[in-house]
Amino acid sequence: MEYIKKQSIYSRKIDNNELIINNDGTIELTPAAGAVKVAGNLEVTGSSSGPTNDLVYYVSLEGDDANDGLGAGASRAKRSIKSAVEDAPAGSTIKVAPGEFYEDNPITLKERMTVRGDSLRNVLVFPNNPTLDLFLMDNACYLFQMTFRGLRDPGWCARIREGALVTTSPYVQNCTTFGYAAVGQKIDGALHDGGNDSIVSNDFTQVISDGIGAWLLNNGRAELVSVFSYYAHIGYLCETGGRARATNGNNSYGTYGSVAEGVDPDETPVTAVVDNSTQYNATISNVYTNTDAIQRLEYSHAGNDYTEAQVDIFGVGDSESLVQDEFRDEGVNQVRIIEVDDSTGNPDATAGATGPTDRRPSGDAEGTGHTPEWSA
């Protein structure tokens, strides 16, 4: 090389086209063996280029948002996740190097976009706007291996963006959220244009004091596998038709673990009538005798709408004769004590009575040598 430097060479070839020095100062090195051997240190002071994948973008603390993001080095990498997401097309993967990244949230992902951290412990994402959402996800998006810190009420770490048509659920895996009174993930079926209205989570830990780990409403759906919440007001919350399928998770040290409330307002109800009054047959609860004859029948329910009655007695004995000869319209068929006030203020007081509290039909009952007594 010393000999070459001492010459003035312009567009000349050396040894079978292996080295060409052009008159514009560029050097083309095309070794016949297909390899270049450097026996010493190699220092590159300018930018280096090579084959790139237009669907892979890089983010690092040494980068700059003015870069194209298509390389991992400082001369090409982006400085922020948001800049990479905004420049990258749908279906791209954003690779985030270790560091603390303060982001101008919300960050809206495009369809089938992946944001992949180098390490759960070493990639820390902080929202510049802690009360706003951090990631708005689209169809088939994927968040992987990052820690999110600093969210506050009413911010959400991850949710499906409004208007998204989800045919493949967004996926959050091996991530952790730290925040106060915020929401780890929220799936609101009313905000989407249709589709699955769902997020899948695996190893998505929520350390959110007084917040909500996973919130599903308006027919939103979630698959929660190894999703743990700590110190939350509610670990898993389902309301107005929201549904969660959870396994191998836990809600610890908070106020409520799993809560379901409300109904789907758009559900077509299945109606039915529960009628234990008008459809309740007459039921004898007690039979009183004096060992020689039947004295009284007591009913727990006297029945409804009877026009005739027959009482059959089974067991030892004979000569029984029972007559049901009185039927009353709008009569009382049952009396129950449902609230007790014994004037002591004792909440555990029980009902007591000096006489029977059941309505008994009047009639005549005769057994051997006895006229029965009927009471109402």
User: Do the domain assignments include residue 41?
Assistant: no
User: Do the domain assignments include residue 79?
Assistant: no
Q: Of 207, 230, 261, which marks where a domain is finished? A: 261
Residue 184 and residue 130 share a domain: yes
CA distances (Å), 41 to each of 37, 38, 44, 88, in order? 11, 7, 10, 35
Antiparallel, parallel or unpaired: β 135-137 and 156-160: parallel
CA distances (Å), 108 to each of 88, 141, 199, in order? 12, 10, 16
Residue 296 and residue 247 share a domain: no
Show pLDDT as tens, one digit a residue, over the chain (376 residues).
Answer: 444 444 444 455 555 656 677 777 777 777 666 677 777 777 666 656 666 789 999 999 999 999 999 999 999 999 999 999 999 999 999 999 999 999 999 999 999 999 999 999 999 999 999 999 999 999 999 999 999 999 999 988 999 998 888 999 999 999 999 999 999 999 998 887 678 889 999 999 999 999 999 999 999 999 999 999 999 999 999 999 999 999 999 999 999 999 999 988 888 888 887 766 666 677 888 888 887 778 778 877 777 777 777 787 777 777 777 777 777 777 776 677 766 666 666 666 655 544 443 333 443 333 333 333 333 3
What total number of domains does the chain contain?
2
Q: Of 226, 261, 296, which marks where a domain is finished? A: 261
Residue 239 and residue 308 share a domain: no
Residue 306 and residue 325 share a domain: yes
User: Do the domain assignments include residue 248?
Assistant: yes
List beta partners, residue 78: 59
CA distances (Å), 91 to each of 127, 129, 140, 166, 189, in order? 24, 27, 9, 14, 24
Find the CATH number of the domain harbouring 220: 2.160.20.10
Residue 195 and residue 132 share a domain: yes
Tell how far CA 300 is from the center of its chain. 48
Residue 234 and residue 112 share a domain: yes
Q: Of 239, 261, 283, which marks where a domain is finished? A: 261
User: Do the domain assignments include residue 48?
Assistant: no
Rounded Cα distance between 321 and 335, Å, is 27
Residue 234 and residue 209 share a domain: yes
Long-range (24+ apart) CB contacts under 8 A made by 254-258 are 254/229, 254/230, 255/210, 258/234
User: Do the domain assignments include residue 253?
Assistant: yes
Token reading at 61 = 């603390």
User: Do the domain assignments include residue 17?
Assistant: no
User: Do the domain assignments include residue 23?
Assistant: no
User: Do the domain assignments include residue 323?
Assistant: yes
Rounded Cα distance between 227 and 204, Å, is 5
Range of the domain at 114: 98-261
3-state secondary structure of 191: helix
Residue 247 and residue 159 share a domain: yes
Rounded Cα distance between 35 and 328, Å, is 110
Chain position carrying tokens 């699955």: 196
Residue 117 and residue 227 share a domain: yes
Rounded Cα distance between 172 and 337, Å, is 55
Residue 297 and residue 182 share a domain: no
Residue 256 and residue 289 share a domain: no
Residue 195 and residue 293 share a domain: no
